[in-house]
Chains A and B, each alone.
Chain A
Amino acid sequence: MNAVAVNNIVKTYGSKKETVKALSDISFTVNKGELFGIIGPDGAGKTSLFRILTTLLLADSGTASVDEFDVLKEYKQIRNRVGYMPGKFSLYQDMTVEENLEFFASIFNTSIEANYDLVKDIYVQIEPFKNRRAGKLSGGMKQKLALCCALIHKPSVLFLDEPTTGVDAVSRKEFWEMLKELKKQGITILVSTPYMDEAAMCDRVALMQAGKIMSIDTPGNIISKFNKHLWAVRSEEMYRLLKDLKNYSNTESCNSFGEYHHLVLKNDDRDKEAVLKYLQVQKHMNIEMKPEQPNIEDCFMQLMNNNYDRS
């Protein structure tokens, strides 16, 4: 049984003159109890997809189901059993932590007490501030409260639209730890994020770009599909190094990556010496060049480039 099934969903926006294709022919399934990541930049179509699955938007064509309920015909059942945290979700800023939680519990016909054990681990972290107005909480705290509100009715499927956008690295890390705990309780979770490094936390991920799913697999498999040899290169002058590497005749792609540049040579060449020689001619100092494990972002960029090439 699939927690979520999406078949050939298409969604376009705009008038007749100017249409924007938000989703073009998307299909995938999410298993029960899976932590599923939808990874892509702004404008990839993540929010449209989530809104269709949470029955807020109608697709132009295609079908989708959540917990075997059709998003079109059986939307009421879906609304009873999913939890949803929209992007840039703002709670009621003028109400306290406790009042917010109480309110969201009540609109789902439940109470904080009834489902306390589900949110307990998260709620204890914000409980010391339960009488503080939501507007006065820090980003990380707000996010925890929002998660509690989305969870308070014990949903079977949880949709989190960009919960970590604009949140600092520490809070992001904590947030993903909370999701892992929730997964243990058997809740299916769909998360979207623009941060590629968060892919590693998911069971499976869909890499989205411009309304299409470029790849869908476990993070490990996606990385293993990166079939080229990847080099990490650095020197004293990183920007000049980047330009020189891009101008190198045998370079297929070169991208900055933290303190190194990630380099892929044409025809999967592994001739390190030739590169070093070229760089020495360009008078680079303290050159370091070593083989590197690709990460999701490398894969994403490779897929993006492949897609561009085809179109």
Chain B
Amino acid sequence: MKQFFIFVKKEFRHIFRDRKSLLIIILMPIVQIILFGFALTNEIKNSNIAVLDNAKDGSSRAIIQRLDASRYFNVSQILNTQADIETAFKSGKIRLAVVFQPGFRESLLHTNHAQVQLIADASDPNTATTVTNYAANIISDYQKELNGQVQVPYAIKPEIRMLYNPQLKGAYNFVPGVMAMILILIAAMMTSVAIVREKEINTMEVLLVSPLKPLLFILSKAIPYIFLSLVNVVTILLVSVTLLEVPINGSLLLLMGESLLFIITAVSLGLMISTLTKTQQEAQMFSLMALLLPTLLLGGFMFPIESMPLPLRIISNVVPSKWFFLIVKDVMIKGLGFSAVWKESLILAGMSLFLLAISFKKFKTRLA
């Protein structure tokens, strides 16, 4: 036991004496979460839109006014013909065009349903979806108000509902995403680098030629980074709740527990990488290419997995971040309990066991 404590103490010494790296480890999550959080909300704010009002009646004007007044949109162009729409999009100055058919208010009042056409530039599908959703929300707000005044329900029907994130706050997606990314980076990369460094400076040879058990070595290497990663989880949550106003709807304890599970998966990945690489540089490259990229691309928080081609959807299943992302969304945003995430948790646990078994088997008690 004493052996173990001294080894862990030594690892913490390495970490605390490398001030620059320590600073990066502690500040990175904060910077990332703020950057992602605000970058996203900024993107949607004050989007320029164009309006083709063929109705020119009270209702269409009211909706245009509301769109313009909202903080998301800015009506920059009033169009006259259908042909102008394409010109406006091609100029690249607008994100959305809103088209009212003639007799909009008439249809709304007499036939009880009316149509608004929302045209978005789908070359950037994420923004397009968000922007149309925002506009649809504003229209439905107007509709609700109308309904409040009269008996018969008027229906302007944009059939999109925003579940759980009614204001469509981007941070709701990014907090779980950044958490997955940071944890993969810190836990997996740092662990692998810490082990490979011992190979590089030849201390590994001495450690191998000693009665030190491989399990003890691996555990002592992992524990400091598990601890640091937990610190990161706490800072990320703090920043999200205070600065980005993303509440923790579910159980904090469950969230921490699931985070710990994911950290263990990430550390196991790091251990596996350390058995495959010889230099710190290799370990870093490997971690970046094999862990960070899949996390970003296939983790589900940057690009929706549902809209990916089948092969990518299948591959995404082996990316641990995907499962963690789902868990955090369920627990933190939707406020669900363990019963909703047990499957994902089981998958992560299985992955960890598998990776640990491999790295343990591959861990060499000799050189070469």
Contact = CB atoms under 8 A, between A and B. Distances in A.
A247 interface: no
Given A56-B366, A103-B6, A79 B202 contact: no
Contact of B206 (A88, A93, A99, A104): A104
B207 interface: yes
A95 B210 contact: no
Interface string B204-222: 0111111110000000000
A91 to B, nearest CB: 7
Contacts of A57: 366-368
B211 A89 contact: no
Given A55-B209, A55-B366, A107 B3 contact: yes
Given A55-B366, A94-B17, A94-B18, A108 B210 contact: yes
Residue in A87, A92, A149 with the greatest tally of chain B CB atoms within 10 Å: A92
A85 B202 CA distance: 10
Nearest to B364: A56
Interface residues of B, number: 24
Contacts of B20: none
Contacts of A102: 6
Interface in B187-215: 201-203, 205-212
Residue in A58, A80, A86 with the greatest tally of chain B CB atoms within 10 Å: A86
Nearest to A106: B6
B343 interface: no
A86 B202 contact: yes
B157 interface: no
Interface in B1-32: 2-3, 6-7, 10, 13-14, 17-18
B209 A82 contact: yes
Contact of A91 (B14, B203, B205): B203
Contacts of A150: 206
A51 interface: yes
A231 interface: no
Contacts of A91: 203
A76 interface: yes
A99 B10 contact: yes
A107 B17 contact: no
B366 A90 contact: no
Contact of B209 (A58, A84, A99, A106): A84
B23 to A, nearest CB: 16
Contacts of A51: 205, 367
Nearest to B4: A106
A79 B212 CA distance: 9
A89 B202 contact: yes
B358 to A, nearest CB: 22
Nearest to A94: B17
B282 to A, nearest CB: 19
B368 A92 contact: no
Given A56-B366, A90-B203, A92-B203, A103 B10 contact: yes
B202 A90 contact: yes
B203 A109 contact: no
Contact of A56 (B17, B203, B205): B205
A94 B16 CA distance: 10
A109 B3 contact: yes
Nearest to A161: B205
Given A75-B365, A102-B6, 13 more contacts: A51-B205, A56-B209, A86-B206, A89-B203, A92-B14, A92-B201, A94-B14, A94-B17, A94-B18, A99-B10, A103-B6, A108-B211, A153-B210
26 contacts: A55-B366, A56-B366, A56-B367, A57-B368, A75-B365, A76-B211, A79-B209, A79-B211, A84-B205, A85-B206, A86-B202, A86-B205, A89-B202, A89-B205, A90-B201, A91-B203, A92-B14, A92-B203, A95-B14, A99-B10, A103-B6, A103-B10, A106-B6, A107-B3, A108-B210, A109-B3
